[in-house]
Chains A and B, each alone.
Chain A
């Protein structure tokens, strides 16, 4: 199916474990983004990528690692999960150009115990 997908949709893990959240888009959009959303904070940008092999930090990058070896995939890794990383994570993609719209994936609800 065309669009943007995330997996897993729900994840429970323990403090200290490594977790990878997957994001896949079929539009060949150049830009991809990872946000986290917590009550009282709105959407906060973690990392983004303007193209394959190009990534940049957002507002809250600490504790996260990203890679983008292929245009369509943008995995987000929590190297050693902490309770403060319990959140809803949204991936998004956007074609290049300031007038283009951004589309979000369905989100991953992550709980770190």
Chain B
């Protein structure tokens, strides 16, 4: 089993839709998790940090389920500009382990 697994997608959704991505991880000792956004193979940029049960920032909500070892990212009211690849990661001894990313395409 990969250390961090994501559904690669692509997720194709219309503008205004709500979309959710899941990310499962294999190491229960991880204390912190991060969602990154990456556009067209530019550098990943931090979207949200998740330390406890979850975090919310505007249209974005991240939830952490330690019992089932997954984190999710919910995007409400999708915008065209949300089209990107979303990477989840977990902390492991100072370094971050990344999933392969989930591609999102928001259509007009």
Contact = CB atoms under 8 A, between A and B. Distances in A.
A7 to B, nearest CB: 14
Nearest to B34: A101
A78 interface: no
Contact of A102 (B51, B96, B101): B96
A98 B44 CA distance: 19
Interface in A7-58: 31, 33, 37, 40-43, 45, 48, 50, 58
A87 to B, nearest CB: 10
Contact of B95 (A40, A42, A48, A104): A48
Interface in B16-42: 31-32, 34, 41-42
Contact of A42 (B42, B43, B101): B101
B101 A96 contact: no
| Most B C-beta atoms less than 10 A away, residue of A50, A101, A102 | A102
B46 to A, nearest CB: 5
Interface residues of A, number: 24
B61 interface: no
B94 A94 contact: yes
Interface of A: 31, 33, 37, 40-43, 45, 48, 50, 58, 88, 90, 94, 96, 98-99, 101-107
19 contacts: A42-B87, A42-B98, A42-B99, A42-B101, A43-B44, A43-B98, A45-B95, A96-B94, A98-B31, A98-B91, A99-B31, A99-B32, A99-B49, A101-B49, A102-B34, A102-B89, A103-B46, A104-B44, A106-B43
5 shortest A-B CB distances, which residue pairs? A42-B100, A104-B43, A43-B98, A98-B91, A98-B32
